[in-house]
Amino acid sequence: MYKVRTSDFVILTEVLRKSEEIKPTQHAKRMVFEKHRILGTNADRKLTAVYYKIMKRLGIIDRIIRELVGVHQNILDPWLRAALRVTIEFLVFEKRFIKKLDLEKTRKAVADFLSGTTHPYVGMFYYEIFDKIREYELKPKNELEELELKYLLPAWYIRKMKELLGDEAEELLKAFNREPMISIRVNRLKASVEEVLEELRRMGKDVIVSKIVPTVLKFEGPFDFDRSKAYRRGKFVIQEEAAALASILLDPKPGETVVDLCAAPGGKTIHMAELMGNKGIIHAFDVDELRIRRMEELIGRCGVRIVRIYRKDARTAPRILGKEIADRVMVDAPCTSDGTLMKNPELRWRIREEKIPDIAELQYQLLKTAIELAKPGGRILYCTCSMFKEENEEVVKRILDKREDVELIPLRGYYSEGFLKGTIRAFPHRHGTIGFFYALLRKL
């Protein structure tokens, strides 16, 4: 069993604070672990597991904070909020790990860290509330709290998944709480699958080659990407199997004009450039400056030469490029992203049911934009990493019901049929990848 150290409380507090500022959260974690020189070590593996547990329990932990402090957690100093979350995880949920830990030393060390990092009053507050956390006993007050504790998900989300899948929903909810494998896709512009496999095996990794996307490789973490020459040289990128399938389904050809409407951070953009043999042009739209910077770095590292980036709202693309100019359009639409909960556990407590209709309306507008951009005969792939029908089948059905200039090209195989005939879905519990939805359309 891993021996928890006082310094682990401080390291995880830094990770939680950074993860509120930097996305994806895995990047924030990597930055802090590198600072403390534990990246790729046994401590990395153990603290990563604790970090994901905190993220999975975040809504429950925050409810405990509200009970103990008497105010909403978001009102608190962000460093104090992070420290309380870490302390509750260890003292309430992970008591077996701290049996030999000097708790008084830990209390003083974290309080001193907070005093030096933010303000002495914050350190004093933490010091005083520490005993309340030690004495706290978790007792669900009602059936909803029992469900949330069992599945580590909001009660409304559990209800929605049961409406979607019936009794099978329990398997999906369990899958969201399993630690995922690392998934990468080989960039064939620079390397072969065998070349990357060889490096990973030299690093001691037992690698699984995807049967759905043969350039996708999966292996257990942790993995220090900065130590990998193949990664630094752009020979592979971090990408899930289900995400990689999207570009294959759209099937862009060398010399074609492609529009990627929600492109950053660029995984699908680069994959399409690879499938096109770096011939043709990809117009890539996004509004997020930080994600665009990451896309630019990734494009350069992977040897892609055919991408033109626009920091613009994708809905303006027809005004910028003109109508009916694209052979293929990728609409990897912004969504709740709940299909990625096993990889991004903090999302589970940030998703709001009342926001789903607004997201679905944006998705509908983006799909309308894609139809304007497509040439007659051109193809459009609409996909999301959401599990909700409202963001998937219902968006596509709304388009098909309202427009006569587009038809559904039936997709079969790969994963499971969607809830609209001719669409497909990847389910985490059935297929061992993130949740994903795909619909392929043709402009008439």
Length of the chain: 444
Is residue 108 included in any domain, yes or no? yes
Over residues 120-124, the mean pLDDT reads 97
Measured CA to CA, the distance from residue 51 to residue 47 in angstroms comes to 6
Based on the fold, state whether residues 90 and 161 are members of the same structural domain: no
Query: What per-residue confidence (pLDDT) applies to 186?
Result: 98
At residue 227, does pLDDT exceed 90? Answer: no
Q: What is the CATH number of the domain that holds 358?
A: 3.40.50.150
Based on the fold, state whether residues 312 and 430 are members of the same structural domain: yes
Residue 360 vs residues 154, 309, 356, 383: alpha-carbon distances, Å: 21, 25, 6, 12
Based on the fold, state whether residues 55 and 84 are members of the same structural domain: yes
Under the banding of pLDDT at 50, 70 and 90, the label for residue 226 is: confident
Under the banding of pLDDT at 50, 70 and 90, the label for residue 1 is: low
Kindly report, residue by residue over 419-443, the tens digit of the pLDDT: 999 999 999 999 999 999 999 999 9
Query: What per-residue confidence (pLDDT) applies to 135?
Result: 95
Pairing assessment for the beta strands 424-426 and 436-443 based on DSSP bridges: antiparallel
Q: What is the CATH number of the domain that holds 127?
A: 1.10.940.10
Based on the fold, state whether residues 278 and 164 are members of the same structural domain: no
Under the banding of pLDDT at 50, 70 and 90, the label for residue 79 is: very high
Looking at every residue in the chain, the average pLDDT score rounds to 95
Is residue 359 included in any domain, yes or no? yes
Query: What per-residue confidence (pLDDT) applies to 223?
Result: 86
With a pLDDT cut of 70, the percent of the chain lying above it is 100
Query: What per-residue confidence (pLDDT) applies to 151?
Result: 94
Domain boundary among 195, 218, 238: 238
HEC per residue, the chain = CCCCCHHHHHHHHHHHHHHCCCCCHHHHHHHHHHHCCCCCCHHHHHHHHHHHHHHHCHHHHHHHHHHHHCCCHHHCCHHHHHHHHHHHHHHHHCHHHHCCCCHHHHHHHHHHHHHHHCCHHHHHHHHHHHHHHHHCCCCCCCHHHHHHHHHCCCHHHHHHHHHHHHHHHHHHHHHCCCCCCEEEEECCCCCCHHHHHHHHHHCCCCCEECCCCCCEEEECCCCCHHHCHHHHCCCEEECCHHHHHHHHHHCCCCCCEEEECCCCCCHHHHHHHHHCCCCCEEEEEECCHHHHHHHHHHHHHCCCCCEEEEECCHHHHHHHHCCCCEEEEEEECCCCCHHHCCCCHHHHHCCCHHHHHHHHHHHHHHHHHHHHHEEEEEEEEEEECCCCHHHCHHHHHHHHHHCCCEEEECCCCCCEECCCCCCEEECHHHHCCCCEEEEEEEEC
Task: Tell me which residue range forms the domain holding 354.
Answer: 241-443
- The conformational region for residue 152 under phi > 0 = left, psi -120 to 50 = alpha, else beta, is left
**Contact in structure between 290 and 345 (CB atoms under 8 Å):** no
Please tell me which residue in 302, 335, 383, 385 is annotated as part of the active site: 385
Based on the fold, state whether residues 367 and 267 are members of the same structural domain: yes
More confident residue, 25 or 83: 83
Domain boundary among 219, 238, 257: 238
Over residues 140-168, the mean pLDDT reads 93
Annotated catalytic, 335? no
Q: What is the CATH number of the domain that holds 223?
A: 3.30.70.1170
Based on the fold, state whether residues 87 and 223 are members of the same structural domain: no
Based on the fold, state whether residues 418 and 322 are members of the same structural domain: yes
Query: What per-residue confidence (pLDDT) applies to 41?
Result: 86
Is residue 47 included in any domain, yes or no? yes
Is residue 286 included in any domain, yes or no? yes
Give the count of beta carbons closer than 10 Å to the beta carbon of residue 164: 14
Whole-model pTM? 0.89
Based on the fold, state whether residues 12 and 111 are members of the same structural domain: yes
Is residue 58 included in any domain, yes or no? yes
Tally of structural domains, the chain: 4
Based on the fold, state whether residues 111 and 164 are members of the same structural domain: no
Over residues 220-239, the mean pLDDT reads 92
Query: What per-residue confidence (pLDDT) applies to 97?
Result: 86
Based on the fold, state whether residues 18 and 75 are members of the same structural domain: yes
Based on the fold, state whether residues 251 and 394 are members of the same structural domain: yes
Is residue 275 included in any domain, yes or no? yes
Under the banding of pLDDT at 50, 70 and 90, the label for residue 179 is: confident
Domain boundary among 205, 222, 238: 238
Over residues 203-216, the mean pLDDT reads 96
Is residue 1 included in any domain, yes or no? no
Over residues 334-344, the mean pLDDT reads 95
Q: Classify residue 214 as exposed, middle or buried by CB count within 10 Å of its CB (0-12, 13-18, 19+).
A: exposed
Based on the fold, state whether residues 317 and 398 are members of the same structural domain: yes
Query: What per-residue confidence (pLDDT) applies to 27?
Result: 82
At residue 24, does pLDDT exceed 80? Answer: no
